[in-house]
């Protein structure tokens, strides 16, 4: 089936697929996906504020109208039918297909932080054991480890990112010590959008019997990837950034041979296959034999359903087409910034395998936070992100496919205006 045929089939009922709610899908109002033949048509499906240019997709993606409508209707179904969410498998199955793993190896979470905590607290570490990380971690990726360092006495070591994948991998290998028990790094850090050589990192970790944990906040919906190919032990991702699902959806992957050795502290519905409080011996005999055991209790069925519809939308446009588009936008951004010569420093790599959909730069006198505020109130009203992590004092530009080249050109003019208004020429030699 080609893309046109697939989109046509979606218009009939992709947004009325089998429901996660305990009602018949025939009771759901059918919502058609609009044409995705051009980027201009696609842009119309996002509720962008008038006279505002959103370029902070690395923090949160803008959910398209059809997905928002599906979310609203799913909540209506709950209210009208008393429909309690009961099916955890539909969204898991769709996600498993996207990231190329077995559904039994993933569980739905609220966000990446929850997944990282499952992996972190699941490890049996003792005082003096070392965890190897980068200097570019997001607080959600490192907070649990820092707290374990405080209460358990583990040691956190870091390594620098290189300008190329080869240099980054070399830095990683040099930082390994006989005490390294875990490597916990981002697939794409929140700082400069660099795609790390996680496959090589995980292979080296496995060779040295080091557990590998990947913070996958950014790749899903931006680039195509396979967790099976990366071959990590744990992977925590989310749907609300580049996949453009509503806020509050994430997932965690646990390698099959790590399941039984991963500590479990939060147990509830969906953790146990069966329980009987009238039994003589009151004990949890078994846990479910899949990663689902780590996702417990009542979940938001409408949100899960909207996550499925976000996947419909993503697949209708086409993963390969999206990856090509976002990389073109980021490359154009880099090239335009480079024309500003000595006024700024580009922080993101230009190497093809290391380049994603985000561009980070900084001014020579480090007025990044001031520029972000300036851009917010400037003509065009840009939403950007101040990068304070790793003491970079940079600006991150996250462009998704709903952005365009004209918007980037407007941003460059905003940068020029800021330089002209606030920068001193003698600073640059």
Q: Which residue matches tokens 């995705």?
A: 36
- Structural domain boundaries enclosing 371: 320-420
With a cut of 70, which residues of the chain have pLDDT below it?
1-36, 366, 423-429
Tell which residue, 279, 326, 272, has the closest CA to residue 297: 272
Q: Are residues 295 and 327 in the same domain?
A: no
293 with 324, same domain: the answer is no
What was the pLDDT predicted at 25? 43
276/353 same-domain check: no
- Name the residue with tokens 């689902």: 292
Which CATH number does the domain housing residue 402 bear?
3.90.1150.10
Query: Is-contact 370 382, C-beta < 8 A?
Result: no
Both 297 and 377 in one domain: the answer is: no
Q: Are 289 and 267 in contact (CB under 8 A)?
A: no
Domain count, the chain: 2
Q: Is residue 67 part of a domain?
A: no
Model pLDDT, residue 380 = 74
Question: Would you mind telling me the total number of residues written for the chain in this entry?
Answer: 429
Nearest Cα neighbor of 365 from 279, 424, 277 is 424
Contact present, 130 and 154 (Cβ < 8 Å): yes
CA pair distance 92, 89, nearest whole angstrom: 5
In a domain, 376, yes or no: yes
Tokens (6 digits) for 279: 């039994």
φ, ψ for residue 285, nearest 5 deg: -65, -45
Q: Is residue 148 part of a domain?
A: yes
What's residue 33's pLDDT? Answer: 62
Pair 140, 194 in one domain:
yes
Tell me, what's the pLDDT at 19? 53
Of the candidates 268, 293, 311, which is a domain's last residue? 311
Residues 233, 234, 239, 241, CA torsion sign = negative
Q: Tell me, rounded to whole angstroms, the distance of Cα 75 from its chain centroid.
A: 25
Q: Is 26 a member of any domain?
A: no
Are 104 and 209 part of one and the same domain?
Answer: yes
Which H, E and C letters describe 33-53, residue by residue?
CCCCCCHHHHHCCCCCCCCCE
Res 23: pLDDT: 44
Asked whether residue 373 is domain-assigned, the answer is yes
Does 55 reside within a domain?
Answer: no
Q: How far is CA 56 from each of CA 65, 83, 118, 180, 391, rounded to the nearest angstrom?
A: 19, 35, 27, 35, 19
End-to-end, the C-alpha distance of the chain in Å comes to 58
Same domain, 129 and 230: yes
185 and 294 both lie in a single domain:
yes
| Contact between 119 and 264 (Cβ < 8 Å) | no
pLDDT of residue 85: 82
| Domain stops at, among 311, 328, 354 | 311
**Is residue 175 one of the residues assigned to a domain?**
yes
Same domain? For 229 and 355 the reply is no
- 364 and 242: one domain? no
296 and 332 share a domain?
A: no
Name which of 221, 214, 279 is nearest 253 in CA terms.
214
- Residues 126, 107, single domain; the answer is yes
Give rounded-to-5 percent helix, strand, coil for the chain.
Answer: 45, 15, 40
Q: What is the CATH number of the domain that holds 299?
A: 3.40.640.10
What is the per-residue burial (b if ≥16 Cβ within 10 Å, else e) of 209-230?
A: ebbbbbbbbbbbbbbebebeeb
Single out the residue in 262, 282, 311 at which a domain terminates.
311
pTM, to two decimals: 0.90
Q: Edge to edge, what strands does the sheet with 250-254 contain?
A: 106-109, 250-254, 234-238, 211-216, 180-186, 130-134, 155-159
Residue 37 lies in a domain: no
């Amino acid at each position: 089936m080609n893309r046109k045929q697939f989109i046509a089939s979606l218009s009939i009922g992709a947004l009325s697929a089998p429901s996660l709610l305990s009602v018949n899908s025939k009771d759901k109002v059918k919502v058609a996906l609009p044409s995705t033949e051009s980027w201009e048509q696609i842009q119309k499906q996002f509720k962008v504020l008038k006279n505002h240019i959103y370029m902070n997709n690395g923090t949160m993606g803008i959910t398209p109208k059809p997905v928002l409508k599906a979310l609203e209707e799913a909540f209506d179904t709950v209210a009208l039918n008393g429909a309690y969410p009961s099916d955890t498998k539909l969204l898991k199955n769709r996600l498993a297909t996207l990231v190329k793993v077995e559904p039994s190896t993933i569980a739905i979470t609220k966000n990446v932080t929850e997944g990282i905590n499952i992996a972190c607290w699941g490890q049996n570490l003792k005082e003096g054991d070392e965890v190897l990380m980068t200097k570019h971690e997001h607080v959600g990726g490192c907070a649990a480890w820092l707290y374990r360092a405080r209460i358990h006495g583990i040691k956190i070591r870091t390594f620098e990112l290189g300008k190329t994948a080869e240099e980054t991998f070399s830095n990683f290998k040099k930082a390994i010590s006989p005490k390294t028990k875990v490597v916990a790094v981002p697939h794409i850090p929140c700082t400069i959008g660099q795609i790390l050589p996680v496959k090589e990192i995980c292979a080296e970790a496995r060779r040295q019997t080091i557990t590998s944990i990947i913070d996958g906040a950014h790749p899903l919906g931006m680039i195509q990837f396979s967790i099976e190919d990366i071959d990590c032990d744990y992977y925590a991702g989310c749907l609300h950034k580049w996949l453009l699902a509503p806020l509050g959806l994430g997932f965690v992957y646990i390698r099959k041979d790590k399941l039984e050795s991963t500590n479990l502290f939060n147990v509830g519905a969906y953790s146990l296959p069966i329980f009987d409080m009238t039994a003589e011996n009151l004990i949890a005999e078994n846990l479910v034999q899949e990663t689902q055991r780590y996702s417990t209790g009542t979940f938001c069925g409408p949100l899960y359903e909207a996550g499925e519809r976000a996947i419909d939308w993503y697949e209708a446009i086409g993963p390969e087409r999206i990856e090509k588009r976002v990389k073109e936008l980021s490359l154009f951004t880099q090239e335009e910034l480079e024309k500003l010569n000595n006024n700024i420093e580009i922080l993101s790599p230009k190497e093809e395998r290391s380049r994603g959909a985000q561009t980070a730069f900084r001014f020579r006198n480090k007025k990044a936070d001031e520029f972000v505020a300036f851009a917010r109130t400037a003509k065009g009203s840009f939403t950007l992100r101040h990068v304070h992590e790793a003491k970079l004092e940079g600006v991150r530009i996250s462009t998704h496919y709903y952005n365009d080249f004209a918007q980037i050109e407007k941003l460059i003019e905003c940068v020029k205006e800021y330089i002209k208004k606030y920068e001193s020429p003698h600073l640059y030699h």
